[in-house]
A and B are shown apart, each in its own frame.
Chain A
Amino acid sequence: MAYLDTNVIIAYCFPQDNNHRNAKSLITKLQELGVKELYHSPLTLVELYSYVSRNADILNIPEELRELIRTKEQRVRVIAEYCLSSLSSLITSVFIPIPRA
Chain B
Amino acid sequence: MSAEVLTHGYEYLMPSHITFLNTLLSSIEQGYSEPTMLRSLGTNTTSLTFYSPASQEISLQRSWEGLYLIVRTTVANIVGRDVVRNAMIYSDPNYGLVMRLIVDLSAKEALELWLRLVEKFPYSRYGIVLGVRWTGENNVSEDELISYVVKIMITSGIEPVAKRALDVVGELREERGRG
Contact = CB atoms under 8 A, between A and B. Distances in A.
A19 to B, nearest CB: 6
A28 B169 CA distance: 20
B158 A61 contact: yes
Contact of A17 (B147, B153, B158, B166): B166
Contacts of A16: 161-162, 164-166
B113 interface: no
B158 A62 contact: yes
B153 A65 contact: yes
B129 A58 contact: no
A10 interface: yes
B146, B160, B161: which has the most chain A beta carbons within 10 Å?
B160
Interface in B112-158: 129-131, 142, 145-147, 149-154, 158
Interface string A62-100: 111100110000100111011001100000000000000
A71 B151 CA distance: 19
Contacts of A19: 168-169
B94 interface: yes
| Chain B interface residue number, banded | 20 to 34
B163 A58 contact: yes
A62 B95 CA distance: 7
Contact of A64 (B100, B146, B147, B150): B100
B175 interface: yes
Main secondary structure of the interface of A (DSSP, over half): helix
Contacts of B167: 17-18
A6, A50, A62, A77: which has the most chain B beta carbons within 10 Å?
A62
B46 to A, nearest CB: 13
Contacts of B95: 62
Contacts of B98: 62-64
25 contacts: A10-B166, A11-B166, A14-B160, A16-B165, A17-B165, A18-B166, A18-B167, A18-B169, A47-B172, A47-B175, A50-B175, A60-B163, A61-B149, A61-B158, A62-B95, A62-B129, A63-B92, A64-B129, A65-B149, A65-B153, A69-B145, A81-B147, A82-B153, A82-B154, A85-B150
Interface of B: 92, 94-95, 98, 100, 129-131, 142, 145-147, 149-154, 158-169, 171-172, 175
Given A17-B167, A81-B146, 9 more contacts: A16-B161, A16-B164, A16-B166, A47-B172, A58-B162, A65-B152, A65-B158, A69-B149, A79-B160
